[in-house]
């Protein structure tokens, strides 16, 4: 297992926000963390990446305690893509991606031809070669998200951890970013853990899902085993179904959370809802 978590408990700002989390990440797989806002998804990702020390339980990378690993060693194993990041300097796309080589060469060592080949390959994989000399301050949200992924690719990790990689992106850029993520698994053998808000995208792009609610793991497994009507009602408070669309892809349809097809009027009397 590349990353494992067992009975993991984590705190944020002094409050215990995740408890009893378990995970086993296999090679060449995409695992999605889903759940309402505030359910602990980002905190779990930070714990798995070794950025938070557990208060109990374990988060292991390659069998070693993630939070206690040497930072360079950890960065060679795991690449972290945050939900939001901004550049304080108008670096070019190429300069940002070069930063991904730091775990292998140190901050002040000159770039070798091998380093530059890896940077160019990472730019190409993220479809950024035409933009490599453009300042990142001049990029769209989708383009900048691909820069962050290319920077991680330049690290040459075995695992990539992404926190809401499609947040604030339009549908076209969401598909571009998630197609890139899926391609990295198929073509380069990476394993991916990501928090993802859109349940349609989660079901379509992830091999497995972990459903979280109020800091606890409610369900895990294949999308069709996790995104059940019962779990939709219990966690999201909606009436929803997972089904196959005309392209044979997973999709989610949702309506208001009136479980029996009735809703109450102002007098408290139930009436049949025509949907």
Summarised one tens digit per residue, pLDDT across range 204-223 is 999 999 999 999 999 999 99
Q: State the total domains in the chain.
A: 1
Among all chains, which residue has been given the structure tokens 């966690």?
A: 235
- Contacts for 194 with CB less than 8 Å, ≥ 6 apart: 30, 31, 32, 33, 45, 161, 162, 163, 164, 165, 181, 206
Determine, yes or no, domain membership for 103.
Answer: yes
137 within 8 A of 87, measured Cβ to Cβ:
yes
Q: Is residue 144 part of a domain?
A: yes
| Nearest Cα to Cα of residue 177 among 127, 132, 247 | 127
User: Is residue 82 domain-resident?
Assistant: no
In a domain, 64, yes or no: no
> Is 110 part of any domain?
yes
**Is there a domain that residue 138 lies in?**
yes
pLDDT at 257: 59
Predicted pLDDT of residue 260: 54
pLDDT value, residue 90: 84
pTM here is: 0.88
- Does any domain span residue 162? no
| Domain with 122 in it | 91-155
Confidence tier at 11 by pLDDT (50, 70, 90):
very high
Q: Would residue 102 count as lying in a domain?
A: yes
* Among the ranges given (103-112, 130-139, 209-218, 227-236), the one the predictor scored with the smallest mean pLDDT: 103-112
* Secondary element (H or E) of residue 187: helix 171-188
């Amino acid at each position: 297992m590349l990353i494992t978590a067992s009975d993991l408990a984590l705190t944020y700002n002094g409050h215990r926000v995740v408890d009893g989390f378990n995970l086993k990440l296999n090679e060449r797989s995409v695992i999605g963390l889903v759940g309402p806002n505030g359910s602990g998804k980002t905190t779990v990702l930070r714990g798995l990446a070794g950025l938070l020390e557990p208060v109990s339980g374990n988060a292991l990378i390659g069998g070693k305690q993630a939070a206690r690993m040497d930072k360079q060693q950890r960065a060679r194993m795991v690449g972290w893509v945050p939900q939001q990041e901004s550049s304080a300097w108008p670096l070019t796309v190429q300069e940002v991606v070069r930063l991904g080589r730091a775990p292998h060469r140190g901050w002040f060592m000159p770039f070798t031809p091998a380093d530059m080949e890896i940077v160019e390959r990472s730019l190409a994989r993220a479809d950024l070669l035409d933009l490599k000399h453009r300042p990142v301050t001049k990029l769209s949200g989708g383009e900048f998200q691909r820069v962050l992924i290319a920077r991680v690719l330049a690290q040459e990790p075995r695992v990539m951890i992404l926190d809401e990689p499609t947040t604030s992106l339009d549908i076209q850029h969401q598909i571009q970013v998630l197609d890139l993520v899926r391609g990295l698994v198929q073509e380069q053998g990476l394993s991916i853990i990501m928090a993802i808000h859109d349940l349609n995208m989660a079901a379509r792009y992830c091999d497995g899902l972990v459903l979280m609610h109020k800091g606890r793991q409610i369900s895990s497994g294949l999308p069709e085993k996790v995104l059940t009507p019962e779990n939709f009602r219990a966690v999201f408070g909606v009436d929803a179904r997972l089904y196959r669309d005309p392209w044979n892809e997973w999709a989610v349809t949702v309506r208001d959370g009136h479980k029996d097809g009735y809703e109450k009027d102002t007098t408290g009397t139930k009436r049949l809802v025509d949907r």
